Structure 1
Amino acid sequence: MTSILFRFIANAVALGVAVWLVGDITLGEDGASNGSKTVTLLVVALIFGVVNVVVKPVVKFFSLPLLIVTLGLFTLVINGLMLLLTDWIAGDSFEVDGFGAAVFGGLIVSIVSWAVNLVLDRDDD
């Protein structure tokens, strides 16, 4: 259960960093309060987590030949597509303008999520 919570927090932080760094990724309305944007970020992180658990393995399976040929670099495209799918599901509360922004945002989300999981998910045995 804590692993799911850590992944949720990592996704939320990673999406927040992507919104902050990539100008073509926006969260909420322009005049929205910080509390409203935080709630929106948590909802988008939940949607992104579900997309990564349900859709991403299927896409990776069917794109396995491309993943092998590109030595795994096609994963960047898949991450961008998952971000665009999250944009489509979330509606107006989360906007990704363009495929390039989605791929760059997916790269940022992957790196930040990995780093946050590394820090949060420590086994102190």
Structure 2
Amino acid sequence: MKNWLLHVIVNAIAILLVSWLITAVSINGVVGAIAAAFILSILNAIVRPILIVLTLPITVLTLGLFLFVINAITLLITDGLLGSTFEIDGFGTAILAAIIISIINLVLNSLIKDKG
């Protein structure tokens, strides 16, 4: 439970940074970022594995790069569920946001593991 909550907080920070870096991504404050991170973590636990299994051949053919498309899809589903709290303007923006969120998560998780 503690690791999951820490993961939600790291995702919320990543979402806030992405909304600051990309003008086509908007979030309504810290509470909106935490809500988006919470929904995104639930989608990553339930929907993402199903999408990975369904798209396994194309993921293998693209050497795993199709996972960014899957991450973009989960971001767009989060956008649809949260309405005006979290908005992404288009699929290309969602892919760019997914790449940046993945990089930020990688950096923050490595910093957390070094401290712990």
What is the match of residue 111 of structure 1? 103
Q: TM-score, normalised by structure 2?
A: 0.93
Distance 1:103 1:40 in 2: 20
CA contact (8 A) 1:26 1:96 kept: yes
Give the 3-state SS of the residue equivalent to 1:55 in structure 2.
helix
- Residue 61 of structure 2 is aligned to residue 69 of structure 1: yes
Greater gyration radius = 1
Q: Is the 8 A contact 1:14 1:112 kept in 2?
A: yes
How far apart are the structure 2 equivalents of 1:8 and 1:57?
18
CA RMSD in angstroms, aligned pairs only: 1.3
Q: Which is bigger in relative contact order (C-alpha 8 A, separation at least 6)? A: 1
How many equivalent pairs are there? 116
Give 1:101 shift. 0.4
Which residue is 1:33 aligned to? none
Candidates 29, 47, 58, aligned match of 2:39:
47
In structure 2, the partner of 1:12 is 12
| Bigger helix fraction | 2
Q: Name whichever of 109-118 and 56-65 sits farther off.
A: 109-118
Query: Gaps spanning 5+ residues in structure 1: where?
Result: 29-36
**Structure 2 equivalent of residue 32 of structure 1:** none
Contact 1:24–1:97 (8 Å) recurs in 2: yes
**What is the percentage of aligned positions where both structures have the same residue?**
34
Runs of at least 4 residues off by over 2 Å = 121-124
- The answer to whether the 8 Å contact 2:16/2:30 transfers is no
